[in-house]
């Protein structure tokens, strides 16, 4: 989705359009423009608007149905309880960050996902839904005009859709770095579904 | 007790330690997990290769084109006169006129006096005066380009629906409308509900001025419920038909419906 999305973004990435959506800036001032011409050239993403759109509106069904099934699974299985953060987790997440930065000796106690993971994983599911909604507002801004207006209009919906995507990229980068940091046993648990941890002597549950 | 194949199956009666049992179970699950992940990866790659090597319809592999047509059927149901593009305040009109973004099918040496609007399959050849007899409609409305940008202008013209009702009532029973430039180089196809939408105009003035050549003088299409590339400049002939008309950009990989 992101790859085809980039092919769509390219068509409106003209540096001459100072008020374009894909930039960091305000009014006539642009601090950073998405993306420099070399970026598009290096990835071969130029002149692919038609292809990008056709892929985007093909794979969106996989994205939407997959996301829907995942959300349904979380609800039906009750697994959402392991995922949705409580108010306490916002403090916990801060402690996790301090621990990761070696500013704190121990991580806060948790089950399966630590407080920072709970917040990040819940957020990314919500972002997926938001991408779908903002995408629909861009796809049919007349037929779904009420939706587009709620989101602040056509160009704002495009801005929101873009920054949600940047959020996914940020999530992905941190996710991969953290997996690499956590080591083999954790990675295996992601694939196999189980992980073995040594428990201190005498704390085993007695059958 | 002797076992002829000592390695085939672990002897269930042999005592194994708890640690070893756990270790075996973990290996078994890991093997299964990684195999499943690899198979899923291979299946995804194979599926992608298959998709990209399908014969193309309009420069798009056919499964994707079918999906675009499916999307069209789903969202096309939503087209009705009730779904209008919202008119915007005059203050938002793009300064200097709407952005000019294409000249395919336009010819700078066209004789405006010689121009007639043809209706394909009839001997109708209408002059501008004939069209001006119909009620003028003005809309201050944005045009969205498929590239992502928006341009706003005040568009004046006659409704395509009014045009059909007056000059060729049978048109209202057809499923599609096609339009072509006088030289035949640029052409668009429209579904009837979008074409006869009350905001769809045969437009002859922008911002209260007659069309310039670059904007498709003397008559162009304004269809704000579609992307800009459907808004054909300089209409030469109109066709009302039950067969889906050719569309310049749909032949180059874009969605035929291209609705907003």
Domains of chain B: total: 2
Q: Which of B30, B60, B68, B148 to mutate to test the interface with A (most CBs of A within 10 A)?
A: B148
- What residue of B is the nearest CA neighbor of A189? B30
In a domain, A201, yes or no: no
CB contact (8 A) between residue A54 and residue B85: no
Q: Which positions in chain A touch B65 (Cβ < 8 Å)?
A: 54
A47–chain B Cβ distance below 8 A for any pair: no
Of A57, A158, A196, the CB nearest to B148: A158
Residues of A in contact with B79 (CB under 8 A): 143
In a domain, B159, yes or no: yes
Query: What tokens does B19 get?
Result: 């640690």
In a domain, A205, yes or no: no
The residues, ordered by sequence, that sit 6+ positions from A70 with a Cβ below 8 Å of its Cβ are A125
Contact B60 A191 (CB under 8 A): no
Give the integer Cα–Cα distance in Å for A39 and A34: 9
Q: What angle do CA B229, B234, B239 make, to 5 degrees?
A: 80
**% residues pLDDT > 90 (chain B):** 64
pLDDT mean over B17-22? 85
Whether residues B38 and B139 share a domain: the answer is: no
Q: Do B49 and B152 fall within a single domain?
A: no
Q: Is B241 exposed, middle or buried (0-12, 13-18, 19+ CB in 10 A)?
A: middle
**Closest-CA residue in chain A for B79?**
A143
What is the token pair recorded at B82? Answer: 């009730």
Minimum mean pLDDT range among A166-180, B8-22, B119-133: B8-22
Looking at the structure, do residues B87 and B199 belong to the same domain, yes or no?
yes
Q: Is the pLDDT of residue B205 over 90?
A: yes
- SS3 category, A14: coil
Q: What is the pLDDT of residue A91?
A: 83
Tokens matching residue B67: 């999906």
User: Is A17's Cβ below 8 Å from some Cβ in B?
Assistant: yes
Say yes or no for a CB contact (<8 Å) between B252 and A57.
no
**The pLDDT of residue B132 is above 90:** yes
Higher pLDDT, B105 or B9: B105
What part of A 123-142 touches B (C-beta under 8 Å)? 139-142
Which pLDDT score, from 0 to 100, does residue B211 have? 92
Reported ipTM: 0.82
Average pLDDT, rounded, for chain B: 89
Q: Is residue B101 part of a domain?
A: yes
B147 and A193 in contact by Cβ < 8 A?
A: no
Residue A78, sorted as left (phi over 0), alpha (psi -120 to 50) or beta, turns out to be left
Looking at the fold, whether A21 and A116 belong to one and the same domain comes out as no
Q: From the list A51, A140, A188, which residue is nearest B260 (CB)?
A: A140
pLDDT at B55 over 70: yes
User: Residue B81 belongs to what domain range?
Assistant: 56-252
Compare B197 and A92 and report the one with higher pLDDT.
B197
Supply the range of the domain harboring residue A33: 1-59
CA angle centred on B248, ends A51 and B138, rounded to 5°: 110
Question: Comparing B25 with B82, which gets the higher pLDDT?
Answer: B25
Say yes or no: B34 and B77 in one domain: no
Indicate whether B36 and B151 sit together in one domain: no
Judge whether A51 lies within some domain: yes
| A198 assigned to some structural domain | no
Q: Which pLDDT does position A18 carry in this prediction?
A: 52
> Which pLDDT belongs to residue A10?
82
Same domain, yes or no: B130 and B174: yes
The tens place of each residue's pLDDT in chain A, 207 residues long, gives 888 888 888 888 765 555 567 778 777 777 777 887 788 888 888 888 888 999 999 999 999 999 999 999 999 998 888 888 888 888 888 888 888 888 888 888 887 788 888 888 899 999 999 999 999 999 999 999 999 999 999 989 999 999 999 999 999 999 989 888 888 888 888 887 777 776 666 555 544
Out of B6-20, B23-37, B42-56, B113-127, pick the least confident.
B6-20
The string of pLDDT tens digits covering residues B161-176 is 999 999 999 999 999 9
Q: Is A11 on the interface with B (CB under 8 A)?
A: yes
| B46 & B62 share domain | no
Q: State which residue of chain B sits closest to A137, comparing Cα positions.
A: B260
Residues A84 and A166 in one domain: yes
Q: What pLDDT is recorded for position B11?
A: 59
Order of strands across the sheet that contains B237-241: B125-126, B117-119, B237-241, B176-180, B187-191
Specify whether A140 is located in the same domain as A184. yes
Same domain, B159 and B127: yes
Higher pLDDT pick, B54 / B81: B54
Tally of domains in chain A:
2
Q: What is the DSSP letter of B87?
A: P
What is the predicted pLDDT for the residue at B20? Answer: 87
| pLDDT number for residue A68 | 95
pLDDT of residue A207: 47
Asked if residue A101 and residue A33 are part of one domain, the reply reads: no
Alpha-carbon distance A106 to nearest alpha carbon in chain B (angstroms)? 28
- Residue B115 is part of a domain; what is its CATH number? 3.90.420.10
pLDDT number for residue A124: 92
User: Is residue B1 pLDDT above 50, yes or no?
Assistant: no
**Do residue A43 and residue A108 come from a single domain?**
no
The pLDDT of residue B197: 94
Q: Are residues B125 and B182 in the same domain?
A: yes
């Amino acid at each position: 989705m992101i790859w085809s999305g980039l092919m769509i973004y390219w068509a409106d990435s003209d540096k001459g359009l100072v008020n374009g959506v894909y930039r960091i800036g305000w009014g006539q001032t642009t601090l950073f423009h998405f993306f420099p011409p070399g970026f598009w050239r290096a990835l071969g993403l130029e002149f692919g608007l038609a292809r990008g759109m056709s892929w985007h509106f093909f794979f969106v069904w996989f994205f939407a149905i997959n996301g829907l099934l995942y959300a349904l699974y979380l609800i039906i299985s009750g697994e959402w309880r392991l995922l949705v953060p409580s108010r306490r987790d916002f403090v916990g997440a801060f402690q996790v960050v301090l621990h990761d930065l070696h500013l704190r000796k121990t991580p806060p106690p948790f089950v399966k996902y630590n407080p920072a993971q709970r917040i990040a994983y819940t957020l990314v599911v919500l972002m997926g839904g938001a991408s779908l909604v903002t995408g629909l507002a861009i796809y049919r801004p007349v037929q779904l005009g009420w939706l587009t207006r709620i989101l602040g209009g056509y160009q704002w919906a495009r801005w929101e859709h873009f920054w949600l995507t940047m959020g996914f990229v940020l999530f992905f980068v941190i996710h991969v770095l953290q997996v690499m940091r956590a080591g083999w046993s954790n990675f295996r648990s992601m694939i196999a579904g189980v992980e073995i941890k040594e428990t201190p002597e005498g704390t085993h549950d007695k059958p | 007790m002797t076992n002829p194949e000592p390695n085939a199956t672990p002897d269930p009666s042999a005592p194994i330690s708890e640690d070893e049992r756990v270790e075996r179970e973990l290996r078994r699950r890991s093997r299964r997990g990684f195999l499943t992940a690899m198979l899923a990866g291979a299946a995804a790659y194979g599926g992608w290769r298959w998709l990209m090597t399908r014969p193309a319809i309009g420069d798009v592999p056919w499964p994707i084109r079918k999906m675009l047509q499916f999307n069209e059927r789903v969202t096309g149901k939503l087209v009705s006169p009730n779904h209008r593009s919202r008119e915007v305040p005059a203050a938002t009109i793009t300064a200097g006129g709407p952005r000019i973004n294409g000249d395919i099918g336009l010819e700078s040496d066209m004789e405006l006096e010689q121009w007639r609007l043809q209706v394909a399959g009839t001997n109708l050849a209408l002059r501008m005066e004939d069209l001006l007899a119909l009620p003028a409609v003005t809309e201050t409305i944005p045009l969205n380009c498929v590239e992502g940008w928006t341009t706003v202008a005040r568009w004046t013209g006659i409704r395509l629906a009014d045009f059909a009702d007056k000059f060729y009532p049978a048109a209202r029973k057809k499923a599609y409308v096609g339009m072509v430039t006088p030289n035949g180089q640029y052409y668009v196809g429209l579904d009837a509900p979008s074409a006869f939408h009350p905001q769809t105009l045969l437009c002859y003035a922008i911002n209260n001025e007659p069309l310039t050549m670059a904007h498709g003088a003397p008559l162009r299409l304004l269809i704000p419920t579609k992307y800009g590339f459907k808004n054909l400049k300089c209409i030469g002939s109109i066709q009302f038909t039950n067969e889906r008309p050719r569309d310049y950009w749909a032949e180059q990989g874009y969605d035929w419906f291209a609705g907003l």
